[in-house]
Amino acid sequence: MLNRQIAVLDAPSNLGLRPPEPGAVPGCYKLPWALRDRNLLTAIHATDAGALVPPRYRAAWSAGEGDRNADALAAFSIMLADRVSSLLKAEVFALVLGGDCSILIGNTLALKRRGRYGLVFLDAHSDFRHPQNAPPIGAAAGEDLAIITGRGDSRLIDLEHCGPYIRDEDVILIGVRDDDEDLPELAACGMGIITNGRLAQLGVPQAATDALATVTQATQGFWVHLDLDVVDATEMPAVDCPEPNGLAFSALTALLQRLVGSPACVGLELTIYDPDLDPTGRYADQIIACLSNVFGS
């Protein structure tokens, strides 16, 4: 990382989430503001790549309609892919601040435009809901891994006729909880899986080695998806679906250091932290500390 410039791009979309309560809007779109207010760019010695304004969030949805906000999300994903494509062309490291997990669609579309890339998927949940295993679908942030591998709402899975954006065999999930109901299907698809329990057995260095082997074996490089609910709920409750039995921030930091330290890693997206659930900024400070330790040296 010392030989590459880091560029921070805001992608503050909440289009892929359900309303947290009637009449409310998911607050994760405020993630970039909360981190920038704590001087993230200075802490990690990054340049400012600006912000992409998302379309209006609409909460209304009925079963059978496909994904909520799918048309808006498709348009936003193409615009996001354009911005990320420019960063990749400039050979800078792209740090994309969400938003919800559906920003993975635009980011991986940018990768597919360039060729074949891998994905390290750091998330408490597999986000693999699709019409064949969980009808009705409805929120793309819980379906992002399915969508980018070609399963889901037809308006999202084949943008620019590029789908799937990532091949199954070029994906590895890390930190997904051991009781995730989609683990058997993921394994049958040939995706790599290191559950949180398995990670504890392997240790961070070996898990990182295994992950890098998977995502670089037949690719031009890889991307890292980080949903902050991968961190244990005791250390990161300010997410839409906090889970127990997760990573400590110290383990996440050590893992990210090894992943983004690889010259094959071209970018990282940060998702799901909700400043509405962090009125004192305590958990934002933890995120900044983590990123500073990963990028700041």
- pLDDT average, residue stretch 268-281: 97
Mean pLDDT across the chain: 96
Q: Which residue has the tokens 């980080």?
A: 226
Residue 2 pLDDT level (bands cut at 50, 70, 90): low
Q: Tell me the per-residue pLDDT of 106-156, one tens digit each, with 9 for 90 and over.
A: 999 999 999 999 999 999 999 999 999 987 878 999 999 999 999 999 999
Query: Residue 69's Cα: distance from chain center in Å?
Result: 19
Q: Average pLDDT for residues 159-170, to the nearest whole number?
A: 98
Is the bond preceding residue 99 a cis peptide, omega within 30 degrees?
yes
Residue 242: inside a domain, yes or no?
A: yes
Nearest Cα neighbor of 280 from 242, 249, 237, 233 is: 237
In this prediction, residues 1-14 reach a mean pLDDT of: 88
Share of the chain above pLDDT 90, in %: 91
CATH of the domain at 49: 3.40.800.10
Exposed/middle/buried for residue 29 (C-beta within 10 Å: 0-12, 13-18, 19+) = buried
8-17, 95-104, 132-141, 169-178: least confidently modelled range: 132-141
On whether residue 1 sits in a domain, the answer given is no
Q: How far is CA 43 from CA 39, 57, 287, 292, in A?
A: 6, 31, 11, 6
| Mean per-residue pLDDT, 75-89 | 98
**What is the number of domains present in the chain?**
1
Q: Please indicate, yes or no, if residue 101 is contained in any of the structural domains.
A: yes
Q: Report if residue 221 sits inside a domain.
A: yes
Domain housing 135: 6-295
- pLDDT reported for residue 262: 97
Establish if 239 belongs to a structural domain.
yes
pTM, two decimal places:
0.97
Q: How does pLDDT run across 29-66, given as a tens digit for each residue?
A: 999 999 999 999 999 999 999 999 999 999 888 878 88
Q: Considering only CA atoms, which of 218, 95, 124 is closest in space to residue 166? A: 218
In DSSP terms, 192 is beta-bridged to 172
Judge whether 149 and 167 are in contact, CB under 8 Å. Answer: yes
For 168-183, b where at least 16 C-beta lie within 10 A, e where not — what string? bbbbbbbbbbeebebb
Residue 246 lies in a domain: yes
**Structural domain includes residue 19:** yes
Q: What local confidence, expressed as pLDDT, does residue 297 receive?
A: 59
Report the C-alpha dihedral over residues 155, 75, 124, 138, rounded to 10 degrees: -40
Closest CA to 32 of 49, 46, 52, 11: 11
